[in-house]
Amino acid sequence: MQQKKAVFNWSGGKDSALALQKILEDKEFEVIALLTTFNEADESSSAHSIPLALMKGQAEAIGIPLYSVMIDKSPNDYENKMLLAVEHFKSKGVKHFIFGDLYLDEIRKYRESKLNPHGIEVVEPLWSKSPEETMNGFYQSGLKAKIVTTQANKLDESYIGKDLTKELIESLPKDIDICGENGEYHTFVYAGNIFKKEVNFEIEKVFKISFDIKLDTGEVKTYEYWQAKFS
């Protein structure tokens, strides 16, 4: 059976890697690119603030080209740039965009609302699995990941740089989603079965970042995160 061409929307974290590994094992899709959005100002990934150079290192180690989409802060730039990316890949015969989402309905509905009208089907290989099933799948996958971001009011800076192990997950506070699906932590995957070689990197220091979000009510809420700085 001929494989369907697809683009994998790559964050560089554990869920992305686990979903990509499943897709490659199932062989239904030919993944022609790893698509990642970056903040144009500092060339860090929008999802996990990973430097472009490290994301390129992941793609090279996996053996699938990285397709970078640079986003600035102007209104609608994200949607405009993503539409250009969709048209680019449609011209190459792509009809499927693959994501590593787990179980947040609003995220999937958003993706489908933006992609389905353009003839792109959303594929979610990890969808509807329980947090425990997802983490057990990660433990058994052979993938290796380090925590690189934490929500400051949930997990302190001591978690930055730690390998994601069963023991670490079992030691998390009880109010933490073990998959970090609510943003409690983000990871960087650097080795495993989908990697032809390990991605070498070092964490130079840990620093705190904060940003304000204006809610629908008009209230402004401040979010703080501990973040790894890579050397």
Tell me which amino acid residue 79 is.
Answer: E
Q: Tell me the β-bridge partners of 97.
A: 7, 122
> HSE on the CB side for 105, CA within 13 Å?
0
Residue listed under structure tokens 């489908």: 112
Q: Is residue 126 packed enough to be buried (19+ CB in 10 Å), middle (13-18) or exposed (0-12)? A: buried
Q: What is the pLDDT of residue 34?
A: 98
Query: Where do runs of H (alpha helix) occur along 27-100?
Result: 52-62, 77-90
Looking at the DSSP bridge assignments, the partners of residue 213 are: 221
SS3 category, 86: helix
**Tens-binned pLDDT, residue by residue, of the chain (231 aa):** 789 999 999 999 999 999 999 999 999 999 999 999 999 999 999 888 899 999 999 999 999 999 999 999 888 899 999 999 999 999 999 999 999 988 878 889 999 999 999 999 999 999 988 899 999 999 999 999 999 999 999 999 999 999 999 999 999 999 999 999 888 999 999 999 999 999 999 999 999 998 887 777 888 888 899 999 997
Give CA–CA dist 58/173, Å, rounded. Answer: 30
Task: Decide: residue 230, CB within 10 A, 0-12 exposed, 13-18 middle, 19+ buried.
Answer: middle
CA distance 129 to 122: 17
Residue 211: predicted pLDDT: 80
This prediction has a pTM of: 0.92
Domains for the chain: give ranges and CATH numbers.
4-123 (3.40.50.620), 145-230 (3.90.1490.10)
Sequence letter at residue 154 = K
- Residue 70 dihedral angles phi and psi, to the nearest 5°: -90, 125
Residue 88: the pLDDT is 97
